[in-house]
A and B are shown apart, each in its own frame.
Chain A
């Protein structure tokens, strides 16, 4: 399951116990809220690949830190920010701990950002063709070889499951390095049930199952096993 990056965490051992925090605040520190506000306000500020290609150390440094690093990287890729100006500005704030960010107020923009938080987006797409699978079908997931972003977790690749629900068609967010995504048609999405033992073998807990959302292109029928595709 070494196909994924550090973000592909399902089933990886060694991260220790879960540590829930009592009465955890929404943001632990002011900067976390500011970073989150930037990400929400600036549409398309970064892409998922910006997040997933961060150094593991940065990725693992905490949610808002990786969000900030991905935003910075995304805006630099788009030419909105240069490394030099970010370094210069950071030096300014490091040397002037009392200094505050430049303040500009625009109620109209704020209204648009506010509306965006409540806007109900329509993500369903025309599938182009009827679903290839139905509830109850035995299926097998493929192995994703392209090395870019995929929404099929490593632990669920090459595994057998059963279609539990036929959802709608949605854009497939896979990003193979260097591949154009514009022409990709939307794909049918399914909920697929995997028995724990299929995924984890003897170490699986009894009476447990995984339900994973799987795009049609990740699936083949079990009959197709061994056939060249």
Chain B
């Protein structure tokens, strides 16, 4: 686990951040600016309710419903709201369609902008320097580090979310999925495929993985 090197984990506890976080929480609760249960609720919401399963449902719907797909590409925010998703960091969501000719990948080089309502909170690598600095310069090399080889015939488009908009990729529908129900299709849509550092899983691979 690559997360073990950053010092926050036992058996090498680094007490500073957890001590500091407790001090801040305690002071802000005592001052009446926040309550314990409000923080609990935020944590619970992003751990359990708002995550990439939302985006996967959006993608699966777009794969089976051409009218929905058209609406999604025209106005991502509104089409995503049709499925009941929206909120913080989702005021303006733009959906980018990857095709046999174009592969889209999303980054935020200045900070870590990310479409929370459909993807949840960003993974660490998305917020860390290596991805943010390199994917704009050498996208194919970076994608290879994720195990994705983009065909030479495709154009790679890197989208740097520098402003108000949040981007989500609509990955290509995998081969061999004709006739699969929407729920099963959603199971093929990974978080990484909606950032653009992966493609959607093929049914055979998905079967093995689960």
Query: Would you call A207 and B155 a contact (CB within 8 A)?
Result: yes
Query: Would you call B24 and A113 a contact (CB within 8 A)?
Result: no
Query: Would you call B3 and A28 a contact (CB within 8 A)?
Result: yes
- Binary interface profile of A, 49-74, with partner B (CB < 8 Å = 1, else 0)? 00100000000101111001001100
Task: List the A side residues contacting B70 at CB < 8 Å.
Answer: none
Once A15-B129, A106-B38 are accepted as A-B contacts, the answer to whether A30 and B162 lie under 8 Å apart by CB is no
Interface membership of A34, Cβ < 8 A: yes
Among B36, B157, B162, B192, the most chain A Cβ lie within 10 Å of the Cβ of B162
Query: Would you call A13 and B133 a contact (CB within 8 A)?
Result: yes
From B55-63, B107-115, B175-183, the one touching the partner chain is B107-115
Query: Would you call B22 and A101 a contact (CB within 8 A)?
Result: yes
Interface membership of A122, Cβ < 8 A: yes
Query: Would you call B28 and A42 a contact (CB within 8 A)?
Result: yes
Query: Would you call A19 and B160 a contact (CB within 8 A)?
Result: no
B54 to chain A, nearest CB (A): 12
Interface membership of B204, Cβ < 8 A: no
Q: Chain B: which residue is nearest A152 at the CB level? A: B162
Interface membership of B138, Cβ < 8 A: yes
Q: Chain B: which residue is nearest A48 at the CB level? A: B111
Interface membership of B99, Cβ < 8 A: no
From A81-89, A127-135, A177-185, the one touching the partner chain is A81-89
Interface membership of A175, Cβ < 8 A: no
- Binary interface profile of A, 199-229, with partner B (CB < 8 Å = 1, else 0)? 1100111011111111100000000000000
Interface membership of B140, Cβ < 8 A: yes
Q: Pick from B33, B125, B130, B161: contact of A21, CB below 8 A.
A: B125
Q: Chain B: which residue is nearest A112 at the CB level? A: B38
Query: Would you call A102 and B26 a contact (CB within 8 A)?
Result: yes
Extra pairs beyond A18-B125, A37-B43 (5, CB < 8 Å): A19-B128, A28-B8, A102-B29, A114-B41, A214-B162
